[in-house]
Amino acid sequence: MTSVLVILAGFTLAAAAVAFALRPLVHCALCLVLAWAGVAAFYLWAGAEFLAFAQVLVYVGAISMVVLFAVLLTRRQADSDEAPGSGGAGRIAAGLAVAAVVAGVLGRAVLGANLAPSPVAARPLDVRRLGAELAGAYAPALLVAGALLTVALIGAVVIAATDAETRGEDRR
Amino acid sequence: MLGTGIIQGLAATAKNFVGSFHDPERFVTVQYPEEKAPVTENYRNFPFLVYDDGQDPMGTLRCVACRICEKECPPQCIYIVPAVDERGKPRKHPRVFDLDISVCMSCQICVEVCPFDAIKMDQTFEIAAADRFRGLLLDKHQLARPNDYYRQIHPAEAAEVDARLAGEKRQAEEKARLAAAKAASPGPARPPASA
Amino acid sequence: MSAVPTPDSLLERAPLLVRDWVSGLFPASWRWLTGSLLAIAAVILGFGLLFTLLTLIERKALGRMQNRPGPNRTGPGGLLQPIADGIKLLVKEDIVPVAADRPLHFLAPVVLVAFTLLSFAVIPYGRHLLPVDLASGVLFFFAAGAATELAVFMAGWSSHNKYSLLAAMRALAQLISYELPLLLAVVPVVMLAGTLSTAAIVAGQGRWTLGFIPHWWVGTPCGAAGFLIFMTAALAESNRSPFDLPEAESELIAGHLTEYSGFKYALFFLAEYLGMTALCAMAVTLFLGGWQAPCVWLQSIPSYGWFFLKLGALLALLMWIRGTLPRLRLDQLMRLCWKFLVPLALINLGTAAFWHLSAGWEPLPARLARWALALLLVLGPFAAIGRRLGAGVERRRYRYAPS
């Protein structure tokens, strides 16, 4: 079913490209959300149901909210909700350099991987085994991610609380 | 403990729900126009003219066209033209008695100042008209109601008015009887009144 | 506690027979297409009809709770009222503000209704009535629900109205906060059932003790606590009283829906009721045994009958709560979520772990000790946190109201 894969990949890349090209920032964020939905569709095509729905739940449901809140709460003026325009040779050069580095890393990873299609179908989902793996082999990764998220949450709360204090509002 | 308040609230609403099917206290809606909410005796809305005999409404109107109510009405919604006979003498009867209920504010000053208990307050409110002005200008035929109707809507007031009017009528008859008896009985010859 | 052989009466298999008959009218290679389309049509038509009935029943039930009759003029007993409302909303002028973002303004209700309808696909309505049997059905359901929050933001932002945007932000804050207790309340059931598939969870609740005590998850301490937390979070997720701050008329007119009129407003309304129905259906599936009958001998009533009976009971409970409780302010709402529901849901997770690990305690005193310990783990934190949060708030004294 490579035709389906081509369509999905085209849709995802098109959404990401449009997200770069649009001027209103909120439209960019929503196109980015479409790109994430495309990635979830890819996971479904590959047979990883759990991962696909987790992708939708986490990215489309929560991270999109983070992005939109960040866009809306950090606007400097009322009409500055547009993406900063392109311009400046230095910026273009820096952009091209970063793109080259990322393309190089991705290219090496893709070319060096074994992409022969395997005849084995994806394993059916076993929640107990998933839990055992997360709490066993992948526990350190889970703990590190959890710690990172907790630090970010506490940092956000501290920043918000400090703002309230400096403005002299009373806290209950 | 937390949550007991919510349970009490749920019980109260459940009582309301179940009670609304069989208990009139828990179903306070009066489903107009199939049911009408009862009005109290003192409720008033727009005046009417009282007549005493159903056989001859216009002839037995208590109103004598004294025009006191027309003068006392604050928004001046009453228009009266007294009836006069061929020689121009007032006939103690209104030829025209118009009351504009789009102007009337039901203050009942006309009722309070009428010396003849001719105008009283009605309780009607279902009087919507299709046209804006003419439909709400009532003439004396539309304003006339029998005394029985007055007794029905304001029993205590009507009883008091009837008693007073009957008493006055009795006194007038007494005086007339006495005067007739004095005129009929033989007495000492008196010089004629006109010299 | 023995499993009973499943009855396969005519009533149970009737929907399958209808589907096979309809699929038989088309070529055999189209069977999967006709089957799917039939399921989609059944869900949309069935739940659309339920939505119209629900609006009427809710108005009449709320009326009776408030000592008044509710709509009773259109049609006998007000039965044609939903049709009158539908016609009214259809013929209303569709006003879009001049400065509004037209594509987003149009897409917001569409996205909302689409994702809400998607979530109906994984709920087993009867023994043979599951539209899509996914191995991770529960996760799919909540993923579809999470995607509806985007539509709320789109509605508020595209209206080009700073009050709509503000209200949309508040609505989003409420929605994403209550996602947490919603999901955490479901995890114990998934842990104890060992699967994310809705069909398997319902099938696992199909046992009875002594023939009349069903093994529904709501009967366990951690399941009961999870059910209560789930219902509270479901009320907040579908913007229902007492959490209906986003759509209350005294709050920024209609919040993120201010600039919507006519049929788009009807679509938002439809999405709210569909979301409420979907969450209640998921609660029935996870906690109340889905389509299982409560007693062995009551299985003559078909499975979809039991499902809709339980769904109706939950919806009636939601209407009852709406008629009783006053609206929560935004800070009270957030406080309830973060300081009460989330800690309780996390502790419930621990209780469920204990319940799972102590499943093998066999002799009767040990089973009683297991129950007592689990009940203590559920009620203790509830009382403690409740007392902590309610400290300093005493019972109101009314000076002029009759006591």
Examine the domain organization and report whether C85 and C115 are in the same domain. no
CA distance A63 to chain C (A): 11
| Test the A interface: residue of C150, C198, C342 with most A CBs within 10 Å | C150
Residues 6+ apart with CB under 8 A from C170: C245, C246, C255, C330
The torsion angles phi and psi of C2, rounded to 5 degrees, stand at -90, 150
List chains touching C (3+ CB pairs under 8 A).
Answer: A, B
Per-residue CA distances from B52 to B3, B71, B143, B166, C207 (Å) = 69, 25, 14, 12, 86
Q: What is the pLDDT of residue C176?
A: 92
Examine the domain organization and report whether C87 and C144 are in the same domain. no
Last residue of a domain, one of A82, A116, A140: A82
Read off the CATH number of the domain in which A20 is found. Answer: 1.20.120.1200
Examine the domain organization and report whether C273 and C311 are in the same domain. yes
Q: How many CA atoms lie within 13 A of C78 on its CB side?
A: 17
* Confidence tier at C6 by pLDDT (50, 70, 90): low
Q: Do C68 and B27 touch (CB under 8 A)?
A: yes
C61 to chain B: which residues are within 8 Å by CB? 17
Q: Do C64 and B9 touch (CB under 8 A)?
A: no
CA distance B21 to chain C (A): 8
Give yes or no for A20 touching C (CB within 8 A). Answer: no
Q: Do C147 and A56 touch (CB under 8 A)?
A: yes
CA distance C386 to chain B (A): 6
List chains touching B (3+ CB pairs under 8 A).
Answer: C
Q: What is the pLDDT of residue B180?
A: 92
Examine the domain organization and report whether C58 and C98 are in the same domain. no
Domain B47-147 listed as CATH 3.30.420.40: no
Nearest to C69 among B2, B14, B29 (CB): B29
C68 to chain B: which residues are within 8 Å by CB? 27-29
Q: How many domains does chain A contain in total?
A: 2
- Strands of C131-263 (E only): list them: 208-209, 213-214
B21 to chain C: which residues are within 8 Å by CB? 64
A131 to chain C: which residues are within 8 Å by CB? 191
Q: Do C67 and B14 touch (CB under 8 A)?
A: no
Range A45-68 average pLDDT? 90
Q: Which of left, alpha, beta for B46 (phi over 0: left; psi -120 to 50: alpha)? A: left
On whether residue A97 sits in a domain, the answer given is no
Range A30-38 average pLDDT? 94
C195 to chain A: which residues are within 8 Å by CB? 127
- Token reading at B119: 């105008």
Distance CA B26, CA B37 (A): 16
A vs C: CB pairs below 8 A: 64
Q: How many domains does chain C contain in total?
A: 2
User: Which segment of C4-18, C136-150, C208-222 scores lowest on mean pLDDT?
Assistant: C4-18
Range C81-97 average pLDDT? 92
pLDDT single digits (tens) C318-369: 999 999 999 998 899 999 999 999 999 999 999 999 999 998 888 889 999 9
| Test the C interface: residue of A18, A22, A65 with most C CBs within 10 Å | A65
The torsion angles phi and psi of B112, rounded to 5 degrees, stand at -65, -35
On whether residue A104 sits in a domain, the answer given is no
Examine the domain organization and report whether C50 and C101 are in the same domain. no
* More confident: C38 or C4: C38
State which residues form the domain around C53: 20-91
Range B59-82 average pLDDT? 94
Q: What is the pLDDT of residue C403?
A: 58
Chain B residue with the nearest C-alpha to that of C60: B17
Residues of chain C that touch chain B, judged by Cβ-Cβ distance less than 8 Å: 61, 64-69, 72, 320-321, 323-325, 382-383, 386-387, 389-390
Does residue C144 contact residue C119 with C-beta atoms inside 8 Å?
A: yes
On whether residue C381 sits in a domain, the answer given is no
On whether residue A90 sits in a domain, the answer given is no
The structure's pTM equals 0.86
Examine the domain organization and report whether C179 and C33 are in the same domain. no
Distance CA C196, CA C138 (A): 6
Residue B188 pLDDT greater than 70, yes or no? no
Using alpha carbons, select from B119, B40, B38, B124 the residue that is nearest to residue B77: B119
Q: What is the pLDDT of residue C5?
A: 47
Nearest to A53 among C136, C165, C179 (CB): C136
- Strands of B7-140 (E only): list them: 47-51, 78-84, 90-100, 119-121, 137-138
The torsion angles phi and psi of B146, rounded to 5 degrees, stand at -75, 165
Residue A172 pLDDT greater than 50, yes or no? no
DSSP string covering A103-124? HHHHHHHHHHS--PPPSPPPPP
Distance CA C245, CA A8 (A): 39
Using alpha carbons, select from B170, B161, B58 the residue that is nearest to residue B114: B161
Hey, what's the torsion of the CAs at C159, C164, C165, C170, to 10 degrees? -150
Q: What is the pLDDT of residue B7?
A: 94
B3 to chain C: which residues are within 8 Å by CB? 386
pLDDT single digits (tens) B86-132: 998 999 999 999 999 999 999 999 999 999 999 999 999 988 889 88
Nearest to B16 among C65, C382, C387 (CB): C65
In sequence order, the β-bridge partners of residue C214 are: C208
On whether residue A105 sits in a domain, the answer given is no
- Token reading at C263: 């049929």
Q: How many CA atoms lie within 13 A of B103 on its CB side?
A: 14
Q: Do C146 and A60 touch (CB under 8 A)?
A: yes
Q: DSSP 3-state assignment of A130?
A: helix
Which strand (E) or helix (H) includes residue B146? strand B144-146
Residue B193 pLDDT greater than 60, yes or no? no
Nearest to C157 among A26, A49, A50 (CB): A26
Examine the domain organization and report whether A72 and A138 are in the same domain. no
Last residue of a domain, one of C61, C91, C121: C91
**What is the layout of strands, in order, in the sheet containing B78-84?**
B78-84, B90-100, B137-138
Distance CA B18, CA B26 (A): 9
Q: Do C146 and A30 touch (CB under 8 A)?
A: no
CA distance A60 to chain C (A): 6
Q: DSSP 3-state assignment of B61?
A: strand
Examine the domain organization and report whether A140 and A71 are in the same domain. no
CA distance C148 to chain A (A): 8
Chain B residue with the nearest C-alpha to that of C393: B2
In sequence order, the β-bridge partners of residue B84 are: B90
On whether residue C361 sits in a domain, the answer given is no
Examine the domain organization and report whether A60 and A129 are in the same domain. no
Examine the domain organization and report whether C144 and C28 are in the same domain. no
**Highest mean pLDDT range out of A120-124, B57-61, C9-13?**
B57-61
A72 to chain C: which residues are within 8 Å by CB? 157, 165, 169
Greatest extent of chain A over all pairs of C-alpha atoms, in Å: 66
B167 CB burial (10 A radius; 0-12, 13-18, 19+)? exposed
Q: Do C386 and B2 touch (CB under 8 A)?
A: yes
Can you give the C-alpha Rg of chain A in angstroms?
21
Range C119-124 average pLDDT? 94
Give yes or no for B31 touching C (CB within 8 A). Answer: yes
Examine the domain organization and report whether A3 and A76 are in the same domain. yes
Last residue of a domain, one of A82, A104, A138: A82
**DSSP 8-state class, residue C394:** P
Q: How many CA atoms lie within 13 A of C393 on its CB side?
A: 7
Does residue C367 contact residue C361 with C-beta atoms inside 8 Å?
A: yes
pLDDT single digits (tens) C192-213: 999 999 999 999 998 888 878 8
Give yes or no for A34 touching C (CB within 8 A). Answer: no
A69 to chain C: which residues are within 8 Å by CB? 169, 172
- Token reading at B126: 């279902």
Q: How many CB atoms within 10 Å of residue B41?
A: 11
CA distance A171 to chain C (A): 12
Q: What is the pLDDT of residue B194?
A: 52
Q: Do A72 and C194 touch (CB under 8 A)?
A: no
Q: What is the pLDDT of residue B192?
A: 55
CA A121, distance to chain mean position in Å, is 27
Q: Do C65 and B27 touch (CB under 8 A)?
A: no
Range A27-37 average pLDDT? 93
Q: Do C68 and B29 touch (CB under 8 A)?
A: yes
Examine the domain organization and report whether C82 and C167 are in the same domain. no
Residue C92 pLDDT greater than 70, yes or no? yes
Q: Please report how the helices C263-287 and C137-158 are oriented relative to each other, as an axis angle in degrees rounded to 10.
A: 160
Nearest to C172 among A57, A60, A65 (CB): A65
Q: What is the pLDDT of residue A73?
A: 77
Last residue of a domain, one of C39, C72, C91: C91
How far is the first Cα of chain B from the last one, in angstroms, to the nearest whole number? 108
Examine the domain organization and report whether C74 and C109 are in the same domain. no
Distance CA B16, CA B18 (A): 6
| Test the C interface: residue of A25, A31, A51, A57 with most C CBs within 10 Å | A57
Examine the domain organization and report whether C138 and C285 are in the same domain. yes
Examine the domain organization and report whether C163 and C42 are in the same domain. no
Does residue B122 contact residue B7 with C-beta atoms inside 8 Å?
A: no
Distance CA C143, CA C278 (A): 13
| Test the B interface: residue of C72, C232, C324 with most B CBs within 10 Å | C324
How far is the first Cα of chain C from the last one, in angstroms, to the nearest whole number? 51
CA distance B128 to chain C (A): 22
Chain C residue with the nearest C-alpha to that of B27: C67
CA distance B68 to chain C (A): 48
Greatest extent of chain C over all pairs of C-alpha atoms, in Å: 77
pLDDT single digits (tens) A80-135: 555 566 667 888 899 899 999 999 999 999 888 877 777 676 677 788 888 888 88
Residue C391 pLDDT greater than 90, yes or no? no
**Highest mean pLDDT range out of A63-67, B73-77, C97-101, C104-108?**
B73-77
pLDDT single digits (tens) C146-188: 989 889 989 988 988 888 888 888 899 999 999 999 999 999 9
| Test the C interface: residue of B6, B20, B22 with most C CBs within 10 Å | B20
Examine the domain organization and report whether C179 and C72 are in the same domain. no
Instruction: With an 8 Å CB cutoff and a minimum of 3 pairs, decide whether chains B and A touch.
Output: no
Can you give the C-alpha Rg of chain C in angstroms?
23
State which residues form the domain around A136: 124-172
Q: Do A64 and C139 touch (CB under 8 A)?
A: no
Q: Do C66 and B16 touch (CB under 8 A)?
A: yes
Distance CA C238, CA C322 (A): 12
Average pLDDT, chain A: 84
pLDDT single digits (tens) C239-259: 888 988 887 766 667 788 888
On whether residue A109 sits in a domain, the answer given is no
Average pLDDT, chain B: 90
Q: DSSP 3-state assignment of B56?
A: coil
Q: Residues of B numbered 109-148 whose beta carbons fall under 8 angstroms of chain C's beta carbons: which are they?
A: none
Distance CA C152, CA B77 (A): 58
Distance CA B63, CA B74 (A): 20
Does residue C255 contact residue C168 with C-beta atoms inside 8 Å?
A: yes
- Token reading at C285: 């599936």
Q: What is the pLDDT of residue B195?
A: 47
Amino acid at C158: S
